[in-house]
């Protein structure tokens, strides 16, 4: 008999998402969950020790009564991974949201100095303590909704001191909570007002800042918003080529409002993920499918929902082309003000026409690959980090079927019971 530190038992389903640690699920594999019925998960330290039938794991593992977490007929899944958020910000944009509901286009608001630039102004003026407090609030909300790893982008200061401060805030939040935070440098969010007449000067600043961030190991990825009123395709290629030379992983905000060519660029440069994709055309889908290692397509259904748009990413075409898909919240104060991956699963089923199984894979193992962590998290397999959630639903389809509620009852991060 093996000693375990925690035994989760009596799950109607243990949704393992196993078998995709080396490469993300794609095509028909996207909906493969590998479910164990009446299942259990044994944990030792911060690692998964065993996954199997409840009766067998109870016989094979010694635990005390207070080391048993009873799923009570709910379902057990890998912890959700939110692979695209803008966690650190100040203020809100509720007034702009009301304008959007009345029909004013987002790009028009951005052109007038609102949108991202509105949040930049508020975040620049905010003290670091206030930013940490707000970051803790939203990171905790994500965790309460089942997220055990999240990505946090910068991009709301757009100057040297401010962008470094946002990375410091993300690190401080990670130090206060058990969930893992992966930092991405998004200095190329938009061009700040002081560089409006000197775009080349701002690109030079980004070059220097990437060198500094890489030397300090402050971020793993570099992202660029390639879009009208943000960065051109040529500027995006310059930034990401330099980032790749420095050893960063690459990400892109691609084809959100227009078909910019950013997704194809991401495929050519070896990006880990291309995100948004609402206005992806057939040529871009072919470019992604033709890559030696296609980037993960990170779909953000909360964005068009929040902005009352009708264009959603073509998930079915992407899946049929063999592009691995992930889902994320895009948590931010302007275009997707939610910490809830369960809500995004429900939206994905309704608006992207994904099955519940596909959506679960998209916010677990495929989201892990979108952060370069498929071998460490995202599935329930022996040896992997013990990030596990329990949901009070009878089967996984309820994650898409029900909406507007939080189904998460218990959260285990690195073997530590955080909520139950």
Q: Are residues 56 and 156 in the same domain?
A: no
Phi-psi region of 103 (alpha: psi -120 to 50; beta: other; left: phi over 0): left
Decide if 368 contacts 327 (C-beta within 8 A): no
Q: Are residues 11 and 91 in the same domain?
A: no
Q: Are residues 254 and 335 in the same domain?
A: yes
Give the CATH number for residue 41. 2.30.40.10
The angle, 0 to 180 degrees and rounded to 10, between the axes of the packed helices 199-215 and 233-246 is: 20
Q: Are residues 206 and 268 in the same domain?
A: yes
Q: Are residues 320 and 285 in the same domain?
A: yes
Q: Are residues 217 and 349 in the same domain?
A: yes
| Structure tokens that stand for 326 in this block | 């992930």
Q: What integer pLDDT is reported at residue 335 of this predicted model?
A: 93
| Structure tokens that stand for 87 in this block | 């966690």
Q: What integer pLDDT is reported at residue 12 of this predicted model?
A: 98
Q: What integer pLDDT is reported at residue 49 of this predicted model?
A: 98
Q: What integer pLDDT is reported at residue 267 of this predicted model?
A: 98
Give the CATH number for residue 210. 3.20.20.140
Q: Are residues 157 and 235 in the same domain?
A: yes
Whether residue 231 is contained in a domain is answered as yes
Whether residue 12 is contained in a domain is answered as yes
Whether residue 374 is contained in a domain is answered as no
| Structure tokens that stand for 122 in this block | 């508020």
Q: What integer pLDDT is reported at residue 44 of this predicted model?
A: 98
Residues of the chain with pLDDT under 50: none
Q: What integer pLDDT is reported at residue 356 of this predicted model?
A: 98
156 vs 117: CA distance, rounded Å:
8
Q: Which domain holds residue 58?
A: 2-79+379-419
Q: Are residues 156 and 30 in the same domain?
A: no
- Count the domains in the chain: 2
Q: Are residues 395 and 254 in the same domain?
A: no
Q: Are residues 13 and 111 in the same domain?
A: no
* Nearest alpha-carbon partner for 32 in 396, 328, 389, 402: 396
Q: What integer pLDDT is reported at residue 405 of this predicted model?
A: 93
Whether residue 256 is contained in a domain is answered as yes
233 vs 144: CA distance, rounded Å:
38
Q: Are residues 61 and 206 in the same domain?
A: no
Whether residue 179 is contained in a domain is answered as yes
Q: What integer pLDDT is reported at residue 93 of this predicted model?
A: 94
Q: What integer pLDDT is reported at residue 109 of this predicted model?
A: 85
Q: Are residues 37 and 139 in the same domain?
A: no
Decide if 399 contacts 407 (C-beta within 8 A): yes
């Amino acid at each position: 008999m093996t000693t375990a530190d925690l035994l989760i038992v009596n799950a109607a389903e243990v949704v393992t998402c196993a078998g995709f640690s080396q490469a993300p699920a794609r095509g028909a594999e996207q909906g493969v969950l590998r479910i164990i019925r009446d299942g259990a998960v044994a944990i030792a330290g911060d690692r998964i020790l065993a996954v199997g039938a409840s009766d067998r794991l109870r016989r094979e593992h010694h635990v005390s009564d207070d080391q048993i977490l009873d799923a009570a007929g709910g379902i057990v899944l890998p912890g959700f991974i939110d692979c695209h958020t803008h966690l650190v910000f100040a203020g809100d944009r509720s007034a702009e949201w009301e304008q959007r509901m009345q029909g004013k286009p987002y790009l028009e608001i951005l052109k007038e100095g609102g949108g991202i630039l509105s949040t930049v102004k508020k975040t620049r003026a905010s003290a670091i303590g206030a930013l940490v407090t707000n970051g803790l609030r939203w990171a905790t909300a994500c965790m309460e909704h089942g997220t055990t790893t999240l990505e946090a982008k910068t991009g709301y200061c757009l100057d040297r001191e401010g962008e470094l401060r946002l990375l410091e805030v993300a690190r401080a939040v990670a130090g206060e909570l058990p969930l893992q935070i992966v930092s991405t440098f998004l200095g190329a969010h938009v061009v700040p007002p002081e560089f409006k007449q000197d775009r080349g000067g701002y690109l030079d600043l980004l070059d220097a800042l990437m060198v500094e961030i890489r030397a300090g190991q402050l971020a793993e990825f570099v992202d660029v918003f390639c879009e009208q009123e943000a960065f051109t395709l040529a500027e995006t290629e310059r930034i990401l080529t330099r980032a790749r030379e420095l050893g960063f992983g690459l990400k892109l905000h691609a084809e959100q409002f227009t078909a910019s060519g950013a997704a194809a660029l991401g495929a050519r440069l070896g990006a880990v993920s291309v995100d948004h994709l609402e206005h992806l055309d057939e040529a871009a889908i072919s470019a992604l499918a033709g890559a030696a290692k296609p980037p993960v397509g990170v779909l953000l259904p909360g964005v068009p929902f929040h902005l009352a748009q009708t264009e959603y990413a073509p998930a079915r075409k992407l899946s049929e082309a063999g592009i691995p898909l992930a889902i994320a919240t895009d948590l931010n104060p302007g275009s997707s003000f939610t910490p809830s991956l369960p809500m995004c699963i429900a939206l994905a089923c309704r608006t992207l026409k994904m099955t519940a199984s596909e959506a679960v894979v998209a916010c677990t193992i495929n989201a892990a690959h979108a952060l370069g962590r498929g071998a460490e998290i995202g599935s329930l397999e022996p040896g992997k980090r013990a990030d596990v959630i329990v949901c009070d639903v009878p089967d996984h389809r309820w994650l898409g079927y029900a909406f507007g509620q939080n189904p998460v009852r218990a959260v285990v991060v690195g073997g530590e019971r955080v909520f139950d």
